[in-house]
């Protein structure tokens, strides 16, 4: 390894910086044989600790920091995230696993025989950063992440390619909102809707004016409130863009949820106008 001039060795296993009996530590032996920098562990290593440490360590290396600075970045991440999962495997892999607060930021140790090198030097990029598509008002992702539902996502994609408005229909609590959010996230990332996606919950607003305001502020910010031609401006925007509009909990606008009052006719009219070209609507409802 010294002959090949390896600049960095990371020993992620437990106690790789601990001396056993009269033997030299692995980290010390590598350093003595000419390896430039060694990161080793002075105690037992929790799997969550290793993951958190390496995220910070390799991320700092990629940003052009020296190895010493990168290890400090990893330690800072450990200090800021001290909770580690405990219990049986099934419990530890669940959405709300039992945890213990463990201050193990000092476990990784740095061995260097000379200067503190920088492995990746930052160079100015000639490529312009790719603009990220809009992804507004979707809130936080599910606490346990999104798992499975590949068949449903495939059916949704085929449906949205062939129809202007698609309805996700299921009883309450079946995950309609999570499915719509994941579909919107995936379709914007893959370029299917390059101008982004906007989420509107009809639990918050059942009025036509409220729908206009929520969509307008997502696109233009608070300046939208000063417009006198709100409806016309939004129609022009959706006709000139390829966007996804997620209308969640649409049952809140139906007569059975409005004490018999009819659903505002503007919703159907706008759905028809806004989807004349590239914009599409994904609607979820229990009925």
Mean pLDDT per 10-residue segment, the chain (287 residues):
83 85 76 87 92 94 94 94 80 73 93 88 73 84 81 95 95 91 94 95 92 94 93 96 96 91 95 96 91
Per-residue pLDDT, 21: 59
H helix or E strand, kind and range, residue 85: strand 83-85
By the 8 A CB rule, do 181 and 141 touch? yes
Look-up: residue for tokens 């995950």?
175
Per-residue pLDDT, 217: 94
Residue from 136, 147, 156 nearest 198 by CA: 136
Alpha helices in the chain (DSSP H): 26-32, 47-62, 67-80, 89-92, 150-162, 176-189, 208-220, 230-240, 265-274
Q: pLDDT of 227-272, one tens digit each?
A: 999 999 999 999 999 999 999 999 999 999 888 999 999 999 999 9
Q: Strands 99-101 and 83-85: what pairing?
A: antiparallel
Per-residue pLDDT, 178: 92
For residue 280, list its beta bridge partners: 244
Give Cα 57 to chain centroid, integer Å: 20
Per-residue pLDDT, 128: 73
Structural domains present in the chain:
8-112 (no CATH), 135-285 (3.40.50.300)
85 vs 185: CA distance, rounded Å: 29
215 CB contacts (<8 Å, ≥6 apart)?
Answer: 198, 200, 234, 245
221 CB contacts (<8 Å, ≥6 apart)?
Answer: none
């Amino acid at each position: 390894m010294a002959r090949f001039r390896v600049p960095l060795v990371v020993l992620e296993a437990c106690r790789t910086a601990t001396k056993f009996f009269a033997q030299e530590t692995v980290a010390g032996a590598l350093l003595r044989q000419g390896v430039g920098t060694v990161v080793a562990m002075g105690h037992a290593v929790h799997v969550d600790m290793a993951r958190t440490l390496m995220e910070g360590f390799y991320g700092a290396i990629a940003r052009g920091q020296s190895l010493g600075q990168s290890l400090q970045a990893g330690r800072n991440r450990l200090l800021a995230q001290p909770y580690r999962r405990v219990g049986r495997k099934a419990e530890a892999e669940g959405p709300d696993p039992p945890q213990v607060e463990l201050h193990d930021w000092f476990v990784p140790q740095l061995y260097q025989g000379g200067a503190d090198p920088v492995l990746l030097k930052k160079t100015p990029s000639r490529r312009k950063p790719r603009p990220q598509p809009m992804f507004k008002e979707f809130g936080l992702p599910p606490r346990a992440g999104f798992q499975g539902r590949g068949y449903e996502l495939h059916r949704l994609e085929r449906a949205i390619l062939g129809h202007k408005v698609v309805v996700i229909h299921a009883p309450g609590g079946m995950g309609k909102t999570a499915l719509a959010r994941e579909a919107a996230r995936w379709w914007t990332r893959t370029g299917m809707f390059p101008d982004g996606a906007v989420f509107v919950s009809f639990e918050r607003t059942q009025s036509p004016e409220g729908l206009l305001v929520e969509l307008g502020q997502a696109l233009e910010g608070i300046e939208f409130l000063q417009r006198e031609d709100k409806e016309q401006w939004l129609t022009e925007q959706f006709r000139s863009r390829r966007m996804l509009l997620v209308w969640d909990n649409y049952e809140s606008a139906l007569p059975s949820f409005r004490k018999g009052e009819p659903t505002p006719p503007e919703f159907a009219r706008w759905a028809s106008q806004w989807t004349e070209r590239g914009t599409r609507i994904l609607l979820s409802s229990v009925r």
